[in-house]
Amino acid sequence: MNTSDKPYSADSYPPAGLMQLVRKSGGASMKTLWAFIFLLAAFGLVGRIDFETALDMDAFRQEYVRQFNTHRALVEDVR
């Protein structure tokens, strides 16, 4: 691996400047990165639960409307 001081040299992977930045910061940027990833995952999970709930409620509403219309048709036939 190339250990030159060029921040983004073509033959270094990962970029040497990025690794030096992480080492110099004492891991503070990694903690920030992990916190950011955790927040994204948490909001993603909440969003997924909300989406699933919305789908379930939509199915419930459709079933309710179907049963209500059937019941109303039966009541109208009795009159």
Q: What angle do CA 29, 32, 38 make, to 5 degrees?
A: 145
Look at residue 14 in the predicted model and tell me its pLDDT: 57
Element at 41 (helix H, strand E): helix 28-78
Spans of all domains in the chain? 16-78
pTM confidence score:
0.36
Q: What percent of the chain has pLDDT over 90?
A: 5
Distance CA 33, CA 22 (A): 11
20 pLDDT higher than 60: yes
Distance CA 66, CA 3 (A): 69
Res. 68 pLDDT band, cuts 50 70 90: very high
Residue with tokens 């059937």: 70
